[in-house]
Structure 1
């Protein structure tokens, strides 16, 4: 899985597919969401964090119209929810600047069920240790020249230390987590943007970007020489709380209806 947009030699495409992954079991990762456009095409991944909100990446803010929940196969999805408001982090400018996080308010609240569940977010700022085992999931490409897939796929990735990550990248924004990629066959690709990095059942990161193939618009799924980069959710705890807990989304969000 990989996600990429123009940023130096980086492209943050709104797709994510993973190498060396597997199809996710139907009874796991029930918080996963497909964020789609007017035509019902998959644009980005996302994840349900409350009855009203799905979290995704800010760079996914294209022609988003609906969120699909409740089925890992996009051709069989039944729960299609309209997006009522988009709540993009106010400091987001581009992927290279950071703050690549967005909340989507659903037009109708979603109740947990056998097919749909929320995922927990960090309660406070935290830092993952090097080599901590995580998972990343999405409907993105499984190879550079392929297409997004119908079945949700998941892959295990390990956290890479900030020191190593900043050594391998010429420039990195603040408040990120590096995991996967970097001389492994495990990570994300185009179509996976906005999906969660999951650690011990908690969403700790959001798929943000990786390196593209030089002189092309393609993200390199085959496989990069640098770590995959995620937005660190815990570093945006207070902004998230304003919207989810304090119900200030009327002032901080833009209507899409």
Structure 2
């Protein structure tokens, strides 16, 4: 039986991100600190602790998926192996404010303090408003967690995988909206995020073009990402308002 995880915001906010969190299928371990924008989100919801991905977009803002907004969020920057105690440059920063978009699966987190920017921690570039990524473009996605569906094989090092952007017309989901979503992946190669890497970035030519939002539970279909370029006006307005 095929299981699909459709992250339309009203539904997603009712669910625990532990059901989605951080899997890369068919990928490889990333070179340590080669993605200094990556953020690990630890989410406390009562006695439950879950995880999401995210990415640094300025010295005090992290972007992630709105469905990760289910509890107290702490951001970890500058990490590669989550269990390693030797990573001196990792920064643990509480979240001061959470601003989910009222309709779509995108959220900004304002950090309690500015991150100390260095070679291990730095923001990623955002696209221009309504910038499009051409079909066939090679992009990548990264995250922490399991590499297959067996929970016993959860890993704690950052992993990455290359994916290809699909034509909008080829995306196999009925509710796919090309104005707010981006479809990428190759189910024949079995390379995709799975059950999330929720909130992590789809990176194309050094730019965060998407946010992991919809996946197949076994990586057997393309993933769908929130299209960041559509929300640039909202992002800029929200950050400006919170900075003041």
Verify the 8 A CA contact 2:163 2:184 in the aligned structure 1: yes
- Cα distance in 2 between the residues matched to 1:36 and 1:107: 15
Residues 118-157 of structure 1, C-alpha deviations (whole Å, 9 max, x = no match): 1010122111111100010001321112354200000110
| 1:42 to partner: Cα distance | 4.9
Q: Indicate yes or no: 2:235 matched with 1:240.
A: yes
- Cα distance in 1 between the residues matched to 2:231 and 2:63: 12
2:20 counterpart residue number: 14
CA 1:178–1:6 in 2, change beyond 3 Å: closer, same or farther?
closer
What secondary structure does 2:237 align onto? helix
1:87 counterpart residue number: 99
Q: Which has the higher contact order (CA 8 A, sep 6+)?
A: 1
Structure 2: unaligned runs, 5 residues or longer: none
What secondary structure does 2:25 align onto? coil
Q: Indicate yes or no: 2:54 matched with 1:46.
A: yes
CA 1:42–1:28 in 2, change beyond 3 Å: closer, same or farther?
farther
| 1:249 to partner: Cα distance | 2.8
Structure 1: unaligned runs, 5 residues or longer: 92-98, 212-218, 252-257
Structure 1 residue corresponding to 2:30, chosen from 17, 21, 24: 24
Verify the 8 A CA contact 1:30 1:70 in the aligned structure 2: yes
| 1:172 to partner: Cα distance | 1.8
Structure 1 residue corresponding to 2:175, chosen from 171, 176, 180: 171
- Aligned residue pairs, count: 226
Verify the 8 A CA contact 2:59 2:122 in the aligned structure 1: no
Residues 195-252 of structure 1, C-alpha deviations (whole Å, 9 max, x = no match): 00001111000000123xxxxxxx223xx1x3210000000010001022xx21389x
What secondary structure does 2:170 align onto? helix
TM-score by length of 1: 0.81
Structure 2 residue corresponding to 1:184, chosen from 189, 192, 195: 189
| 1:62 to partner: Cα distance | 1.3
| 1:115 to partner: Cα distance | 1.5
- Cα distance in 1 between the residues matched to 2:61 and 2:54: 10
5 Å-filtered alignment, 1:21-170, equals: 21-38=27-44, 41-76=49-84, 78-91=90-103, 99-146=104-151, 147-165=153-171, 168-170=172-174
- Cα distance in 2 between the residues matched to 1:242 and 1:40: 33
CA 1:181–1:141 in 2, change beyond 3 Å: closer, same or farther?
farther
What do you get for the CA RMSD once the two structures are aligned? 2.4
